[in-house]
Amino acid sequence: MAKINVPMTPKIQGMAQRIRDFANSIQSDHDDMLVAKETVNTFNAGMTVTRLDVCAKVAELSAAEKWLPREIEEACTAAKKLTNRPAEDATNRTVGVFCSQLHAVAHPKVRNQFPTILAACREAWADETMADSDAPKPVHKFKGREYTLIMSACVAVKNDELVVVDADSIVQWAIENDPDFDPDKVEKRLRAVAAQLQEIANDFGDDQIADACTYLSTISADDLLKSLTKKRAAEKAAEAKRMGAHKLTSVAVTPVAPVTLPEPEVSAPESQESPESTISGVYDPLADTLNDAGVQLAIAA
């Protein structure tokens, strides 16, 4: 049905204007909120730069003074308490968390590798940031912030869970730790799904849905890990089989028999005429040259 536009009456116009005037009351506050949000983003970006600068300095200091792992752990724990601010102070909590993060940065397994880790993470993050919107972005999916990615990489290197060579190392690490395949996270998702299904089962009195809830509630992270390991092993075996079927075989090369040229004929002395080098008793230098090369001339009489 076509929509019929009815001209507004003076009354409706007046009502609309008053409604708009009332609604405009939040306009100024919203503008201020957007400005404040942009300011927060600016400060957050600046704080990230400062954090990474501090990380580099601590890594260098730890390497220069050869800090030991136990010393680093104790020092970072003590540093969290070196403040006059109350424990519940938000800034104090943030600084305390940063002190804990510096533990990984200063560790002997990380400190000399920190420049490489930093460069690799930044490159991997930037590559996905500049990629098309529909392109796969495993690094962004793995960690929501660049700074979090860098700190997580430092912890992984410290725990011998990651070896960083370049940006590809970070991308592969992110793929292997895809949140969709994290057994602990998937277990929590299953519990949430089971709870939602249980409400449906209760509302409709459906025993089959209730049984499904019971089954989902029994699946643990260990069960998921075993299933995932089995699945990946099967995929790896299938890939190995596929590659074996397409493996290049050596190509047999048929040896080529050497070409034996005929021995050149010895030309008769110039004082003697050769039938092969004369035509009607006249010396032919071209024919003699061809004879020297072993080529026989057929001369019609």
For 194-236, the pLDDT digits (tens) are: 999 999 999 999 999 999 999 999 999 999 989 988 988 898 8
Residues 231 and 146 in one domain: no
Phi and psi at 278, nearest 5°, equal -130, 145
Structural domain contains residue 296: no
Residues 170 and 44 in one domain: yes
DSSP designation for 7: P
- Considering 220, 235, 250, which residue would you say is the last residue of a domain? 235
pLDDT score, position 267? 55
How many whole angstroms separate alpha carbon 183 and alpha carbon 186? 5
Question: Is 210:198 a contact under the CB 8 Å cutoff?
Answer: yes
Residues 171 and 79 in one domain: yes
pLDDT score, position 297? 44
Q: 217: helix, coil or strand? A: helix
How many folded domains does the chain comprise?
Answer: 2
Residues 65 and 150 in one domain: yes
Structural domain contains residue 210: yes
- Considering 178, 194, 213, which residue would you say is the last residue of a domain? 178
Q: Which amino acid is at 99?
A: C
Q: What is the pLDDT of residues 234-273, one digit of tens each?
A: 988 888 888 887 665 545 555 555 556 555 555 555 544 4
How many whole angstroms separate alpha carbon 199 and alpha carbon 193? 10
Residues 42 and 172 in one domain: yes
Structural domain contains residue 129: yes
pLDDT score, position 65? 97
Residues 150 and 230 in one domain: no
Give the residue numbers spanning the domain of 119: 36-178
Structural domain contains residue 60: yes
Confidence of residue 1 (pLDDT cuts 50, 70, 90): low
Q: What angle do CA 80, 158, 183 make, to 5 degrees?
A: 100
Residues 83 and 216 in one domain: no
295, pLDDT greater than 90? no
Structural domain contains residue 197: yes
